[in-house]
Structures are given as structure tokens and as C-alpha cells.
A and B are shown apart, each in its own frame.
Chain A
Amino acid sequence: MTRTNLGVGAGAIRVLLIATLLVLNALVGLGHGPVAARGLAQGEDCATDAAGGGSPAAASPAAAASPAGGGGENGGTPPNIAFLPKDVENDYFVTAAGGAEEAAAEIGGEFQQVGPATASAAEQVTYVQTLTQQEVDAIVVSANDPDALSPSLQAAMDQGIAVVSYDSDVAAEARMAFVNQANSEAIGRIQVQIMGRLLGCEGEIAILSAASTATNQNAWIEFMRDELERPGYENLELVTVEYGDDDAQVSYDTTVELLTAYPDLRGIISPTSVGIAAAAQALEAEGRGGDVQLTGLGLPNALRAYVESGTIEEFALWNPVDLGYLAYYTAAALVDGTITGALGETFEAGRLGSYTIGESGEVLLGPPFVFNAENIGEFDF
């Protein structure tokens, strides 16, 4: 994306950048093993082909539409929208609610978050019924069970209440739109892109996955392999995929063994929250943190200590603030009639820009979010 915009001037800047990095490497001894071949700034990736494969280049969405973007179409009364997360205690949903509140303030709508204290589908049904009686304009739900909630949500829709699912979908006939935070392709590719950036597109890397049968991880790994096939990644070599079974001990031990088995290993990608934390712990205990780069998927609270110590420079996940924000705008657009949830409809979502409804009512949040030392302080989940 950014690459296609780079002209001659940018090329010269890059040469300068590389030269500076080379000098820095020589001076400080930053480079372990071969000197980094290419220096990449934040947001850049190794691929030299035109930004194909839907590579998300920027960490945060570039589009900065006017905050009141959605407000213009909202001619009638301000919408009264209720969020019903899996459980209200979970920091992840508390963080997402912050985004929803932000959106509510921009539109001038009302926002409330209700739900069970511990994830329970049965309790969620009760909340749906209560919200239906309250005649809220929209219910935004993250389902503890895709099917258990369907009858009550359908009853709500029959009463003219807009239903949007986010984070965890319900049966397609029980909601009008689903705000999807994760796209396998983008999630898979970004991890390789981060690693390429950290290593200057060069060196041996390994993947430490969850169980060898984990559907999500396997889908991501396929896209990681595909990303590595792109020109620009010739010198980034995937030497092995190991499985830590989402078990702290197995993941930890495997990480240490990888260091011995592959003495030239320079990076580990762990697309699982258990794996990346155990690998970080192992690298620190072995005194190899920062020497062997580590990235993957994880939660900020679990990885904060490792980001602060420099063992993990960057890791990816989606941004729950943006998820709550987009879910609120989606619900508001359904309430004011801008969209009905049909394929191809578009709507504005404030600072996130314009969104289009995809297959089976899906609204895709966008590129994964990259957490690093600068921004991790803003998140508590």
C-alpha cells in the first residue's frame, strides 16, 4: 500500500536509511549474525511486489474522517444502543466498550453495556429479553453460544430492534450484521511482515503454534507461508513449525530446544497467546531476549512485561477499542436505515472511514493492530 506511493525520493531516503542502519549496526553491534540487509520502518514490509495479498501495511487506520461523519445521516432521534458482551467483567470487553462510548459521544447517541458477570449463554438470553422489553433501538451482542441466543434475538428483531453481533457471531438469521475483528489472511500475513521488519528480511525463523490440530492457527500458518513466498522474503527462511499444544511447559521447552537445534535461528513467530508468553519467558530465562526476535498474537496485559523488557518488540491482535467503535456505528447505521445488512451496502464509521457489508452480513474491522512499547500503555485487557 505505502510502497506503491514511494517515488525516487523515497528510494534515496531508503538508501540513506540503510546506510545509517549499517553504520549503527557496526558501531553498536546491534546486528547478530549477518548484518541486516534492509532497514524497514514501522508499517513497511519485506515484500517487493505491488501490495498484493491484502497486506495490511499500517498499524492504525489512515483514514481520519470527520468525527461527526455518521451523525449527518442520523436525522431522527439519537439511537439508544445496548452492548451485551460475553461477560462484563472481562477487560477485553471493557476496552471495547470504551470505543463504543467514543462512537456514542460522536453521534450523540446513548450507550449502555449490560451482561453476565461470567460468560454464560443462559444469562445472556435473560438480558436480551430485558433489553427487548426496554425497547432499545439496537442490541450489539457477543455470543457465548451461537445458537442458544437465536430465538430471543429473533424475537427482538421482530419487535423492530436492530441486532448486531461482534467479536463472537450468532447464527446468521439471528442478527442483521456481524462486525468481524479477525480475518485469517490479514492475521497470518501481518505476523510474517512484523518478523521481516524486525530481522531486516533476513534469517532463519521458526513458528511455535498451538496444537497441530488447531483450525485457526493452521489457517494463519498457511497465510504465513504464502506471505513468505512473496518476492522480498527470499532470505527469510522458515526452518520449522513446532507445536506447543497451548501448554506453557511444552511451549517453553520447545522454545529452548529450538535454540539448540537451530543455532542460527533469529526469530520465532507464535500465533497463540499461551505460546508467545511461554516463548518470551524461555528467551528471557536463556538470556536470548532481543537476540532472537519474537512476535505473534497475544494480549497486551499478558505481554506487557516482555514488551517493556524488549523481548517482544511488536505483536499483533485487533484493536478492541476500534471493534467497539465500529460495532456502535454499524448498529447506528442499521437504526437510522442507512443500511439493512444486505451485501454491498456502505456506511461511514467516524474516524475509521467507510465500510461495506460483505458476505452474510459481515463487516470486517480491517487490518490487525500492532502493539509495541509506544502504544501498549493505552490498553488494559
Chain B
Amino acid sequence: MTTADGAIGTGPSAGRLRADRLVGLVGRVRELGLLVALAVLVAAVTAREPRFLSLNNARTILLAVSILAVVAVGQTLVVLTRNVDLSVASIVGVTAFVAGDLFKQNPGLSVPLVVALACLLGLALGALNGALVTLGRVPAIVATLGTLYVYRGVAFWIAGGEQITVADVPQGYRDIAMTRLFGVPNPILIAAAVAVVAAYLLRTSPVGRQLYAIGGNPEAARLAGIRSDRLVFGAFAVCGLLCGLAGVLWGSRFGRIDARAASGYELQVVAAVVVGGVNIFGGVGTVLGAVLGAVVLGTVANALTILRFSPFWLQAISGLAILVAVTLDLLITRRVGRALVARRNR
């Protein structure tokens, strides 16, 4: 960003050309601002504690945010359409518990079948959210606040105080999250695959572009003949599906599941999406940004423990880090925007 700064007003030079290219890049790829913030964070923490910067710790951070990232991708789809899904954590919790309970009640059940059922359950719960918002015309924040409690209540009702333990689920189910491919834990690969597919579809498919249009200007989208309700419904349903997948990963990874699984997770998801530069009022942002937002949050949490901060400070510092990341990202994009204007006027 200093290069971009220096470039403005100085005469044409090799440095300016490089700066121009950087400005163009940041202009196109908004996530770069966040990447810079992440790099600064990593450098600062590493300066104080060299152990922070290791392959092992990078793997720890990515694994810690993998489930968050899957849900954040789903949330991004919803937020892009100028809606929000507050029930995501409850869907993760209820699917995680139901999947575990299926194994507990029917030992010997096939693992792929249970995974499919859990994803279907997530899809159904997400579709119910979508129906409330599109058919019922209930504002998303209210509808999903309601289902947040309803879905969690269902989890409590099914569980009845019971819990699923590692002994209740087959090894094949545990393996989903516990195995590694070339040293990379599966959840990281799954999250990456989900993010790449979603990013590609959002960027290139007509449906993807229409989602942006709905959030950017609902009225214009309607006039352009976009069937908003269908797409919003679809966004909620896919978000639910991804929550179901996250529930499978949750159950597979932690083994022990009770009805409270993933409670309060929705705020982390929203935080990741917002830090990732997805506009909470819709229309702006990318899936990769949201994933990067999750990584930034995970890095902050990890760094605080590694730097041996008192756990009592953890939440406050995490919140502060969110503010700093968002502000830094905003500053960078604003600078870049100005630089772009300057270049155009040249």
C-alpha cells in the first residue's frame, strides 16, 4: 500500500509501473487487502514468538477454521442476496447430533448413507428458512432467529440429555475428519474444495451473477427478470446443505456430541464473512474473502494462545482484531480506489 501511495504524483518510472500493476491487482482482487493484513499479523506475531510460524501451526490454524469456512461459504451465498442466516450453528448442531444418533441407534449403518442423510437434513432445514423468507415474507434476521431456537430446541429434544461418544460412531465416520492426504487433514481439503467450487460458480455461472444482482439492487434485479425468490430460497437451501456437511465434519472430528454442539457458532460465521469483506447489505464480496476472513479469525485466536495472553482477554482482543482487520481492509481498498481514479484521470 505504501508503494501505491508513493506512486501517486511521482513521475513515470519503473516503480510507478509496478505500483500501477499492484493497484490494478488489488482493485480486481479485493481479498488482497485482507491478505496484506494477514501477512502483517503473521509477521508481528512471529517477531515475538518464532514458534508461531511453522508448517505444523499453519496446519493447526487451517484445521481449526475448516468447519467455520464451510459454513461461511454458505453464509456468503445468503448474505450476498441481502439476507442473513442466524440459524447456521443450530443446523450444524442438530445434524451433528442426528448423524451420531443414527449410528448409536442403528449400529452398522453405512457411513455414506448417514453422511447423505445429514446433508439432506441440513438442506431441508435450510429450505425451511428459505421458505419462511420467500413465501412467508418474514425478514431473514427474524425468521432465522426463530429457527435458531427451534432447531436447537429440536436438538435438545432428540438428545434428551444424552450425548454421543466416540464409541457410538464407527471408525469409518471418524476417518472422514481424521485422515490426512499428503499430510493435509481432510477437513481442510473438504473446505478448500467447497470454497473453490462455490467461488467458481459464483464468478462464472448465470445463477451466481444473479445472486449478486439481487443483493446489489433488488428492484433492478426484479425488473431485469431475475426470479429473486427462487434464488434466495436456493441460497438458504444450499447454506443449509453446507451446514449439514459441517455437522458431519463436526461429529466426525470431535467424536463427543451433545445437544449444545456448535452453540454460538453463528456469530463466528458472521464475523468471518464480514471480516472477509462480504458486505452485510448484500451484493458485494466473495467466497474466497469469507474463507480468508475465517483464516484471519483463526489466526488471531491461535496467536493469542501462542503469545500466552491471558484467556480472560481473548474475546476482547479477538473483537479488536476484527475491527483492525476490517479497518485495514477498508483503508487499503479506499487507497486503491483513489489510486485507480488518479490513474484514470492521468
Contact = CB atoms under 8 A, between A and B. Distances in A.
Interface of A: 87, 89-90, 118-119, 212, 240-243, 246-249, 252-254, 256-258, 260-261, 263, 274, 277-278, 281, 285, 301-302, 304-306
Contacts of A241: 311
Nearest to B306: A261
Given A305-B166, A305-B255, 6 more contacts: A253-B64, A261-B305, A261-B308, A263-B51, A281-B166, A302-B165
Interface stretch (B75-83, B194-202, B260-268): B260-268
Given A257-B302, A260-B60, A302-B165, A249 B257 contact: no
In the complex, which range does the number of interface residues on chain B fall in? 35 or more
Q: Is the interface of A mostly helix, strand, loop or mixed?
A: helix
A237 to B, nearest CB: 14
Given A240-B308, A249-B254, A278-B256, A118 B262 contact: no
16 contacts: A89-B160, A119-B160, A243-B311, A247-B263, A247-B264, A249-B254, A256-B60, A257-B301, A257-B305, A258-B305, A274-B258, A277-B166, A277-B255, A281-B256, A305-B165, A305-B167
Contacts of B178: 285
B196 to A, nearest CB: 24
Contacts of A253: 60, 64, 301-302
Among B166, B253, B260, B302, find the residue whose CB has the most chain A CB atoms closer than 10 A.
B166
Contacts of B250: 248-249
A242 B311 contact: yes
A246 B167 contact: no
Interface of B: 51-52, 54, 56-57, 60, 64, 67, 160-161, 163, 165-167, 178, 185, 250, 253-258, 260-265, 301-302, 305-308, 311-312
B190 to A, nearest CB: 16
A257 B306 contact: yes
A131 to B, nearest CB: 23
Nearest to A209: B311
Contacts of B167: 301-302, 304-305
Contacts of A247: 260, 262-264
Contacts of B312: 212
Contacts of B57: 260
Nearest to B180: A285
Contacts of B307: 261
Closest 9 CB pairs of A and B: A257-B305, A248-B254, A277-B256, A302-B165, A253-B64, A305-B166, A261-B306, A118-B160, A256-B60
B226 to A, nearest CB: 38
A302 B163 contact: yes
Contacts of A254: 305
